[in-house]
Amino acid sequence: MPAKEITTYTCKLTSDQGQTLRQSLEQKGFQFKELAYTKFAASQEKINIALYTSGKLVVQGKGTQEFVQFILEPEILGEARLGYEDVLNPERLLPRVGVDESGKGDFFGPLCVAGVYVNEAIVKDFEAQGIMDSKSISSDRRIATLAEVISKHPDCVSTVVPIGNEAYNRLYTKMNSVNKLLAWGHARVIENLMGQRHRMKPMPQIAISDQFATSKEVTKSAMMSMGKEIELQQRHKAESDVAVAAASILARNEFVERLGKLEKQFGLSLPKGASKKVDEAAKQFLEKHGEENFGKVGKLHFRTSFRALGLPEPPKKPFSYRSRKTSSS
Answer yes or no: do 143 and 291 share one domain: no
Give residue 21's pLDDT. Answer: 96
CA proximity to 81, closest of 20, 1, 181, 149: 1
Residue 137 pLDDT greater than 70, yes or no: yes
Q: Confidence band (pLDDT; 50, 70, 90) for 154?
A: very high
Instruction: Look at 155-164, 165-174, 238-247 and tell me which has the smallest mean pLDDT.
Output: 238-247
Is 135 domain-assigned? yes
% of the chain at pLDDT higher than 70: 90
CATH of the domain at 139: 3.30.420.10
Answer yes or no: do 148 and 195 share one domain: yes
Is 2 domain-assigned? no
For residue range 245-287, list pLDDT tens digits in order: 999 999 999 999 999 999 999 999 999 999 999 999 999 999 9
Give residue 216's pLDDT. Answer: 72
Is 103 domain-assigned? yes
Q: Confidence band (pLDDT; 50, 70, 90) for 226?
A: confident
Domain range enclosing 95? 90-259
**What is the average pLDDT value for the chain, to the nearest integer?**
88
Last residue of a domain, one of 235, 259, 283: 259
CA proximity to 43, closest of 67, 65, 75: 67
Looking at residues 36-47, what average pLDDT do you find? Answer: 92
Answer yes or no: do 178 and 96 share one domain: yes
Q: Are 248 and 134 within 8 A, CB to CB?
A: yes
Residue 4 pLDDT greater than 80, yes or no: no
Answer yes or no: do 138 and 225 share one domain: yes
Answer yes or no: do 162 and 274 share one domain: no
CATH of the domain at 26: 3.30.310.10
Is 167 domain-assigned? yes
Q: How many domains does the chain have?
A: 3
Instruction: Look at 34-38, 102-106, 164-168, 293-297 and tell me which has the smallest mean pLDDT.
Output: 34-38
